[in-house]
Amino acid sequence: MINLETPKKFRMLVEQAHQVAAEIFRPNSRKYDLAEHSYPKELDMLGALLDGMNAGSGEGAGAAGVRRDKVADEGNRNGSNLSTVLGVMELCWGDVGLLLSMPRQGLGNSAIASVASDEQLKRFEGRWAAMAITEPHCGSDSAAIRTTARLDGDHYVLNGEKIYVTAGERADLVVVWATLDRSAGRAAIKSFVVEKGTPGFELVRLGHKLGIRASDTAHFSLVDCRVPKENLLGDPTINVEKGFAGVMQTFDNTRPLVAGMAVGLTRACLEETRKLLTQAGVKIDYQRPAATQSAAAAEFLRMESDYEAARLLTLQAAWMADNRKPNSLQASMAKAKAGRTCVEVALKCVELSGTLGYSEHSLLEKWARDAKILDIFEGTQQIQLLIIARRLLGKSSAELK
């Protein structure tokens, strides 16, 4: 059974992550928000921090992964998924964009850690991997991918276009989702590790964004890009019965991570707002019903309860991954709750803080901009609710759209 306290063996890592957030991320947060596309050089010496959080798992190529090929240990297993989520919560309390700029902790690393073979794990170890899914004509519907992969001897030839690739310019590798056969639908979609510098794989431009400006977001084109067939992650065969399960397994890991980001940012907003409300003379009393307190205090208590629900759902999804339990439903529930809560809390905190919340005097206005992406990437709010409904009702994607 899950224990909701931070495991003793992770407490030092959590403290270290919070120290980095407080002493490195927060002081540089506004600097790199204003200097979009500038690489945060302060992170170079911190690259090993999250590597340490995953040490001993034997499963990662940087970030944690969800693997189904092992039998669950008896009792509780608190592993790399939980430790990484706990660290992410602390670091995003400091700054989400800077967390996304941490070397070797890209979403592509989670994809590799989740489905790569032992040989691939060793080959890609220590390298920074981004993940390229979204295309100009398809966002949340990953099954509509048009980028193609054609086997030609010992290589796959990739052709297509990818947008909104987080850390795409800075990463060493990019995990590209492509289809082996458009007529076969979801079952033909596979992920390929493309090394930077591969002929035919070109950076088109970097995007300007509402938030997380410290993180670069790239647009790539693939024109007759030849990738060794050994770089395909997972099973190369098209299994219609298995469908989309192979590549979707990646999301079982990355969605709790994004939920953890949202939880960390939500906590930052609440703590800053509590401080400003206290300075304004607003008292928050946990011994009295919210209805008997001021409107600001009642709103704050409501936001705190939403935050706590999001945090617990996120810990549950990560714990289930560590214990080899199917967590697709819980991963989507955590992502949906945490993403929506983060956006609502950030905007309400700006409102409650008045002019201080809307100006650049504090970080609240920046956090409100950063929050929105956490309800979008790795599957929008609407997609998460659709996945949850399918799981609870036992419906397929064809039956419930």
Q: Residue for token digits 């956090």?
A: 367
CB 176 within 8 A of CB 147: yes
What are the respective helix, strand and coil percentages of the chain, to the nearest 5? Answer: 50, 15, 35
In the numeric block, the tokens 């510098």 are attached to 197
Closest by CA position to 368, among listed 352, 344, 339:
344
DSSP collapsed to 3 states, 240-299: CCCCCHHHHHHHHHHHHHHHHHHHHHHHHHHHHHHHHHHHCCCCCCCCCCHHHCCHHHHH
Q: Which of 90, 135, 299, 378 is catalytic?
A: 378
Other C-beta atoms closer than 10 Å to the C-beta of 56 total 11
Cα within 13 Å of Cα(8), Cβ side: 0
| Active-site residue flag, 365 | no
148 exposure class (CB count in 10 Å sphere: 0-12, 13-18, 19+): middle
Three-class SS of residue 203?
A: strand
User: Residues 127, 133, 136, 141: what is their CA dihedral angle, to the nearest 10 degrees?
Assistant: -170
List, by residue number, the catalytic residues: 378
